[in-house]
Amino acid sequence: MRRRPGIGGLQTAAAARDQYRALGENVAKLRTDLMKEQLATFRSQLEEFARKHKNDIRKNPSFRSQFHEMCAKVGVDPLASNKGFWAELLGIGVQIVEICLATRPLNGGLIDLQELCKLLRQKRKHDREAVSEDDCLRAISKLKTLGSGFEVISAGKKKLVRSVPTELNKDHNQILELAQAQGYVTVDEVERRLSWTHGRAIDALDTLLEEGLAMIDDGHRDGKRCYWFPCVSSISSFGADN
Amino acid sequence: MQKLGDFKLPHFFNYPPYFTLQPVRETREKQIQLWKELILDYCRTQKIFVIRLEEEFPLFSNSVIERTLSHEAREAFLSALVAEGRAEWLDKGRRNCLILWHRIQEWADIIVNFVKDNGFEDSVMTVEEIRLGIESRGTELQGIDRTILVRALKLLEHKGKLAIFKGTSTDDEGVKFSV
């Protein structure tokens, strides 16, 4: 910008300088944000790498020193990673695994996320910080990367945490959704509401039964067999304490 | 929590499928375990010694959820207790079941303590006195099933802790302690 002579010119120059400075600050902030983001990504990738190659790092000294050098450059201390946020998250993960294992006989390895959080809070009664559903989800996604077969699936309005390798297909998922209304379904209901053939309904229900996700009930007064789903009835707290 | 008198019922008691014997093995095993614990707990607190499968037993039905255990289910749960040594069938038809919420050996120990606590080491008592006498009031022996009591006494007799002798009728069966 061309300088204009006189006071007017001085004021213009000052305004211009302010504008440049503001722009400069914005650009710097943008760069910093980007850098922070990249750094965060890089750090998590490094942590992932450390996990995957734990044995190599332990056994191979030159590999190990190179790895440490890389970590130092980005301010990651792999040894200190055992404390703080990382470990806290892992701690919750361990407790989630414990709860899922303990309730598996009752619900077949599928548990309502809200119920899981409730049981987790009960377990951690003495901890200063309350555990949120987000904390649970974060811990579960960490568990997932560790390849422990954990998964969060959506069925209707509910989020269910799966801790067994059972693959649930769309048919199973639809039945779980249907079951949320009363806690159970009948074969007729499944056929009618989902417009399935008898065979398709029976197949899906039988699989769910065999996987321990469903229980039969032959005591209904109309004589029709009901298939109950513990995971949608918050049954997992049944019999697990007392 | 639902109650049967004073007794607190566990949550699974209100979940209908638990009243149907489950076909899938793992699920059935868990179901049987829960029912076994419930039956023992209930019998222990209510001092019930015999369960008759064909009669009304409070645990076999839940009117709130309108479910009743089939005969097959009742037999399955009680058979599991028998296999564990916590019950015995009283008849071949498996219609009547003796519940051992204390094993016979445990009852024997209770009797020995009872004798020592009351200074009966060299005394003579009738079987009925042990069950219903003043000294047994407030103790676990009060109202103990006669079959179980006699079995425990026989166990102790075998160990030389007492001698059982018959009176003129079964009610007079007596015990001389040498604890």
A101 in a domain, yes or no? yes
Determine the structural domain holding residue A110 and report its residue range.
Answer: 42-164
Based on the domain organization, do A136 and A75 belong to the same domain?
yes
Q: Which residue has the tokens 């079964």?
A: B170
Calpha distance B62→B68 (Å, rounded): 6
Does A77 map to a domain?
A: yes
pLDDT at position B1? 60
Residue B44: which of B109, B99, B107 has the closest Cα? Answer: B99
Decide if A22 is inside a domain: no
Is the domain spanning B104-177 CATH 1.20.120.790? The answer is: no
Please report, for residues A35, A45, B135, B158, the alpha-carbon distance to residue B129 in angstroms, rounded to integers and kept in the order given. 89, 79, 8, 21
* Dist CA B179 CA A242 (whole Å): 39
Q: Which residue of B has its CA nearest to A208?
A: B24
SS3 A135: helix
Q: Cβ contact (<8 Å) for A215 and B20?
A: yes
Chain B residues with beta carbon closer than 8 angstroms to that of A239: 10-12, 34
The whole-number pLDDT of residue A240 equals 39
**Which residues, numbered 58 to 117 in chain A, qualify as contacts with chain B under a Cβ-Cβ cut-off of 8 Å?**
105-106, 108
CATH code of the domain containing A104: 1.10.10.10
Q: Is residue A125 part of a domain?
A: yes
What number of C-beta contacts closer than 8 Å exist between A and B?
Answer: 56
Whether residues B17 and A226 touch (CB distance < 8 A) is answered with yes
Q: Are residues A139 and A79 in the same domain?
A: yes
Q: Do A150 and A222 fall within a single domain?
A: no
Question: Are A61 and A136 within one domain?
Answer: yes
Q: Is residue A242 part of a domain?
A: no
A237/B contact by beta carbon, under 8 A:
yes
Instruction: Return the DSSP state at B129.
Output: H
This complex has an ipTM of 0.86
Q: What is the pLDDT of residue B13?
A: 94
Query: With contacts defined as CB-CB under 8 Å, which chain A residues touch B64?
Result: none
- Domain shared by A144 and A171, yes or no: no
Residues A48 and A149 in one domain: yes
B68 interface with A at CB cutoff 8 Å: yes
Residue A31 in any domain: the answer is no
B11 touches chain A (CB under 8 A): yes
Q: Which of A164, A190, A217 is the last residue of a domain?
A: A164
- Angle at alpha carbon of residue A213, lines to A212 and A216, rounded to 5°: 80
User: Are B57 and B51 a contacting pair, CB within 8 Å?
Assistant: yes
Min Cα–Cα distance to chain B from A186, Å: 13
Please name the member of A209, A212, A238 whose beta carbon is closest to the beta carbon of B15: A238
Name the strand (E) or helix (H) holding B163. Answer: strand B162-165
Handedness of CA A208, B79, A100, B59 (dihedral sign): positive
Q: State the total domains in chain A.
A: 2
| Per-residue pLDDT tens listing for chain B (179 residues) | 677 778 999 989 999 999 999 999 999 999 999 999 999 999 999 999 999 999 989 999 999 999 999 999 999 999 999 999 999 999 999 999 999 999 999 999 999 999 999 999 888 999 999 999 999 998 999 999 999 999 999 999 999 999 998 877 665 789 999 87
Domain boundaries in chain B?
3-99, 104-177
Query: CB neighbours (10 Å) of residue A183?
Result: 17
CB contact under 8 A, A228 and B29: no
Domain co-membership, A214 together with A201: yes
- A26 found inside a domain: no
Which residue in A105, A212, A228 is closest to B16 by CB distance? Answer: A228
B22 CB within 8 Å of a chain A CB: yes
Please tell me the predicted confidence (pLDDT) of residue A50.
72
B66 in reach of chain A (CB within 8 A): yes
Of B20, B24, B29, Cβ closest to residue A218? B20
Using the 3D structure, point to which of A127, A142, A164 is the last residue of a domain.
Answer: A164
Of A164, A192, A215, which marks where a domain is finished? A164
Per-residue pLDDT of chain A (242 residues; tens, 9 = 90+): 555 566 666 677 777 777 767 776 676 666 666 666 666 666 677 667 777 777 776 667 677 677 666 666 656 555 554 445 445 555 777 888 888 888 888 888 899 999 999 898 888 776 656 777 887 888 888 777 766 678 888 888 889 998 887 778 999 999 999 999 999 999 999 999 999 999 999 999 999 999 999 999 999 999 999 999 998 887 655 543 33
Give the per-residue pLDDT at A242: 33
Fold agreement between B3-99 and B104-177: yes
CATH number of the domain located at residue range(s) B3-99 in this protein? 1.10.10.570
Q: Do A212 and A140 belong together in one domain?
A: no
Instruction: Establish if A16 belongs to a structural domain.
Output: no
